Amino acid sequence: MPALLMLGAVAVLGAFGCDGSDGSSAAAATSTSIAAATTTAIAPATPTATPSPSSAFTICSDQTYALCAVASCFVLDDLAYCKCDVLSGNSISESDAFGEGQNICTVNAEGAENGYMASTFSLPDSVVAPNGNQALYNCPASTSTGAYAQCDGGLCFTSSQGQSFPGFSDPLTDGEIICSCPITQADPAKARIGYQIAGPFPCQESFFQNCKRATASKKNGSQIYVGAPTGVAELLTRQLYGSVPALNQCRP
């Protein structure tokens, strides 16, 4: 799944670009769309899927889902267990089609009454300029060796809501959920593009240590962050909302 996401992202980014500053009107339009995703009731999901402008992705309409885009994660046995937010509204994901007409949206819908949900994407308010308190940190392809979790399509279990979980000092709230996500280890010798992880804003130089293996690794007990190839957040935002507001970004 992460490899397909990267290939799809590279292909579509080539067509759309990844400029994240469309001006105030775009920011206002996107903020209105974001407001549709709330942390309120967790109602049974409806298996509604809407084609996105790119056939590689599908929009899941009016469903409860897990948002992991700015999550931190605990590593155990080569998997990342990430503390994600439970939201309701529209989100987007790689389609992951299988069987007869099934995809990520039908999987998520079935989970509503079976104790799980899927991790999909919507734009977190926390990274939107000028008021967001987080930013996208850009880890360059040529120098980054860190590990990060790729959570698109990851499965999350509702039994973790409001409970304690290894690697996190405080219990989860009812609006948080643990999702199981594969880990990507960056390799400058092979990387074509860098990746982005979410961190504090205003920018902190010390946070770029999370782009390095010495800080962010696949070792048991490590803390890593959810990430994605550079530009994917902007790409998915444009696909979901039709425009991209100005985002907080930090570069080394």
Domain definitions of the chain by residue range: 2-250
Concatenating the DSSP letter of every residue in 158-222 gives GGGTTS--TT-SS---TTEEEEEE-EEE--TTT-SS-EEEEEESS--GGGGGGGSTTTS-SSTT-
Task: Quote the CA–CA distance of 66 and 85 in Å, as a whole number.
Answer: 6
pLDDT at 53: 57
pLDDT category at 19 given cuts 50, 70, 90 is very low
Summarised one tens digit per residue, pLDDT across range 76-111 is 999 999 999 999 999 999 999 999 999 999 999 999
pLDDT at 28 over 60: no
SS3 state at 17: coil
pLDDT at 54: 54
Summarised one tens digit per residue, pLDDT across range 137-179 is 999 999 999 999 999 999 999 999 999 999 999 999 999 999 9
> Whole-prediction pTM value?
0.81
Task: Quote the CA–CA distance of 128 and 252 in Å, as a whole number.
Answer: 20
pLDDT at 16: 35
Task: Quote the CA–CA distance of 123 and 120 in Å, as a whole number.
Answer: 10
